[in-house]
Structure 1
Amino acid sequence: MFSRKARLKDIAALTGVSIGTVDRVLHDRGQVAEKTREKVLRAAKELNYSPNIIARALKTRKGFNIISLLPFPTDENSFWEKHPEGMEKAMLELDQFPVSLRQYTFDLNNEKSFQKKAAEVMRQNFDGIVLAPVFKNESITFCSLLRKKKIPFVFVDNFLTETNFLAYIGENIFGSGRVAGQLADLVTPGNKDILVINIAKNLRNMHHLNKRTDGFISYLADKSYRKRKTLKLNIPGTDKQVVKKSLEKVFMKYPDIATIFVTGSKSYKIAENAYGFGNDGVNIIGYDLLENNVECLKEGKIKFLIGQRPEEQTYRAIKKLFEYLSLKKVPDKLDYLPVDIVTSENVDFFINSH
């Protein structure tokens, strides 16, 4: 049998005080003796009491304007197609409340595009924002402006410890790098080398890629007894000739590379160009269930993909932001999602379930 949800009258019966007193304690209204307050809170915890959030939000009836500022998807990187789906699902569930959402997007590869959109956002009238802080320096500046206006912001995809964000929903970036390191260690012979590839025009400003790299390297450092090298390569763009030339150069210098870890979403760009250098058995590990990545995974060109559940990130972000605005419910600051390890054998499950 399912247990019945605890009510105010249940707490009152257990503590021997009136329902009105219980209400004052739980909703911080009016004066209550400290001893009584402690007794009520103890009973509420014991009964696993949780307030009816919908009913409380309906009572406020105050309208809220939420904004999102995320990268727009491209043909090369469709990862950001999923984020609007999560927000739209959340907004459907909040349809009975006076809350609106406006979506703004910027170019993932252009800091100035972000700055322009951020400036446009600051001219709007809004109560909270869901933000992907892709560019570290520009995002810190933007968040300081939000802070001055006392506008709460929730991060998705990655977070910046230098800012006072309300919450973050997404992977443990450093931890997922360590998971990738463990996968690499499992499939790489002890006498073979591992290559870490970042694809970024300005890697120093792409802090999430650096955090993944740090996590990956830290795991392999724990296995320092292996007789292998861990190498790094930064490719400034996705042009086929640039990618191919960069790979050719590194494989000529280090012919014992057996595994490649791609820190971002464009693993397929490496998979399509990494063969033909006498290394047809190379293992590639990357991120995200992009169509091109999945195709390479099924063809055996990619060994593992790590999924980030983008739609779940933004779904939770909208819900947390709304509950904070309407109910002053402060969320957990770090809401880490599971690290999905995807192979050719289970990829269809992840595609169908998300």
Structure 2
Amino acid sequence: MKQVRIKDIAQKANVSIGTVDRVLHNRGEVAPKTREKVLSIAKEMNYQPNIVAQALTTRKTYRISVLIPRGGNDNIYWLSHPKGIEKAVKELHPFLVEIDYCLFELHNEADFLKRTEDILNNLPDGVILAPILKKEAIQFCKKLDSQKIPYIFIDTFIDQTNCVSFIGEDAFQGGRVAASLIDYGLPAEKDILIVNLAKDLENTQHLNRRNQGFLSYFLDSGKNTGMKITVEIPVTEQSVVDQKLDSIFQQNANIGAILVSSAKTHVIARYVEKRDLKTILVGYEVTKKNVEYLKKGIIHFLIGQKPMEQSEKAVKRLFEFLTTHSISLEHEFQPVEIINTETITMF
């Protein structure tokens, strides 16, 4: 279908191109009767303004706030996201996109809320966020809605919001994949330990969904009949991890596999190596520390969700929404990526 131009409207209305431009962009003096005529013809011809071209002409700077956990130490997964964001900004040139990073301490509700207030005070054009803390994220989204600031989710999806798009894993399906990997290599009678390195598991949406998917697999089709033991460890200090896991293994000698529901799989791998345990270990994300234990044979499988690709797509999709007021894809689940010693090529 041919795009309607200002020139086409001018010809049909029998006025100048300049007059149509003044009417459509609400600038300059135009007789009321002429204005009404031009608007009527524009509507009749289904005129759609080329907002992207206008953005280039006006050289508008699009200000995007990014709310994600601070990466580093045992939380290295989140170091990858800024790389994807910067790649997107570079590729969007000559459009001007300005990124304001608001980094919060993972599982720290107070810090998350402080960063959300900073964003609201800065009034960005749009927001990209990882809504890991469900209750606080919903509260923030309601405030964004009230200020009509569009937002996109990465990594984690929560309903009860008006996010314009989501890019990340299907956490429930990721949990089922992890279960199938363990089920394939584990004797049916062995127990399975599920380790959640989180301060408030109930409020951590993506970990909950992974666990739900994991358990659903065994209810539906898994052959394993052993116990599924769940533990929540709020910190990654090795002494705390050792004490907690020592107690569990002393009481449950039948554990044959461990699932770590987060990217901090290397924390549990350290324990497994230290105690020389002969267990299947499955976890998440292709980080440098996780890959080191994968190559050693301590971690058997990792499930990845390509964080750089996630964040790169999020910037481009939010830019698309800001410039066209529409979105090409509301939900994009990243393909489940299974990594073992034979497939690892990243490090």
Q: What TM-score do the two structures reach when normalised by structure 1? A: 0.82
Shifted more, 325-334 versus 191-200: the winner is 325-334
Partner of 2:126: 128
Partner of 1:40: none
Please point out which of 292, 295, 298 is paired with 1:298: 295
Partner of 2:336: 339
C-alpha RMSD of the superposition: 2.6
Residue identity matched to 1:210: N
Partner of 1:98: 96
- Counterpart CA distance in 1 for 2:107 and 2:171 is 20
- Counterpart CA distance in 1 for 2:315 and 2:166 is 11
Please point out which of 16, 27, 31 is paired with 2:44: 31
Contact 2:273 2:298 in 1 (8 A): no
- Specify whether residues 283 and 237 from structure 1 end up closer, same or farther in structure 2 by C-alpha distance, changes over 3 A only: same
- Counterpart CA distance in 2 for 1:103 and 1:225 is 46
**What stretches of structure 2 of length at least 5 have no aligned partner?**
13-40
Provide the secondary structure at the position in 2 that maps to 1:185.
Answer: helix
Mapping of residues 171-250 of structure 1, within 5 Å: 171-223=169-221, 226-250=224-248
Provide the secondary structure at the position in 1 that maps to 2:338.
Answer: strand
Q: CA deviation at 1:56?
A: 6.9
| Percent of matched pairs sharing the same residue | 38
**What stretches of structure 1 of length at least 5 have no aligned partner?**
1-6, 13-18, 38-50
Corresponding position: 1:308 with 2:321 = no
Q: CA deviation at 1:253?
A: 1.7
Deviations 1:3-45 (A, max 9, x none): xxxx849xx9xxxxxx959xx9xxx943159xxx9xxxxxxxx
Partner of 1:255: 253
Q: CA deviation at 1:230?
A: 1.6
- Counterpart CA distance in 2 for 1:229 and 1:29 is 67
Deviations 1:133-168 (A, max 9, x none): 111111111110000011100001101101111111
- Counterpart CA distance in 1 for 2:139 and 2:52 is 35
Contact 1:159 1:168 in 2 (8 A): yes
- Specify whether residues 325 and 232 from structure 1 end up closer, same or farther in structure 2 by C-alpha distance, changes over 3 A only: same
Provide the secondary structure at the position in 2 that maps to 1:305.
Answer: strand
- Counterpart CA distance in 2 for 1:309 and 1:112 is 28
- Specify whether residues 245 and 158 from structure 1 end up closer, same or farther in structure 2 by C-alpha distance, changes over 3 A only: same
Contact 1:201 1:237 in 2 (8 A): yes
Contact 2:183 2:224 in 1 (8 A): no
Contact 1:166 1:331 in 2 (8 A): no
Provide the secondary structure at the position in 1 that maps to 2:188.
Answer: coil
- Counterpart CA distance in 2 for 1:171 and 1:284 is 21
Shifted more, 241-250 versus 156-165: the winner is 241-250
Provide the secondary structure at the position in 1 that maps to 2:271.
Answer: coil
Contact 1:181 1:216 in 2 (8 A): yes
Please point out which of 146, 151, 154 is paired with 2:152: 154
Deviations 1:75-103 (A, max 9, x none): 11111111001110110011211332211
Contact 1:131 1:155 in 2 (8 A): yes
Partner of 1:283: 280
- Counterpart CA distance in 2 for 1:330 and 1:83 is 22
Contact 2:272 2:298 in 1 (8 A): no
Please point out which of 147, 163, 166 is paired with 1:165: 163
Partner of 1:88: 86
Mapping of residues 5-20 of structure 1, within 5 Å: 8=2
Q: CA deviation at 1:178?
A: 0.8
Q: CA deviation at 1:275?
A: 5.0
Partner of 2:107: 109
Residue identity matched to 1:286: G
Provide the secondary structure at the position in 1 that maps to 2:181.
Answer: helix
Contact 2:186 2:224 in 1 (8 A): no
Partner of 1:45: none
Contact 1:169 1:334 in 2 (8 A): yes
Residue identity matched to 1:338: P
- Counterpart CA distance in 2 for 1:157 and 1:175 is 14
Deviations 1:300-347 (A, max 9, x none): 000001111011111000000001111122232211111110101111
Provide the secondary structure at the position in 1 that maps to 2:309.
Answer: helix
Shifted more, 78-87 versus 101-110: the winner is 101-110
Of structures 1 and 2, the larger Rg is shown by 2
Q: CA deviation at 1:229?
A: 1.6
Contact 1:267 1:293 in 2 (8 A): yes
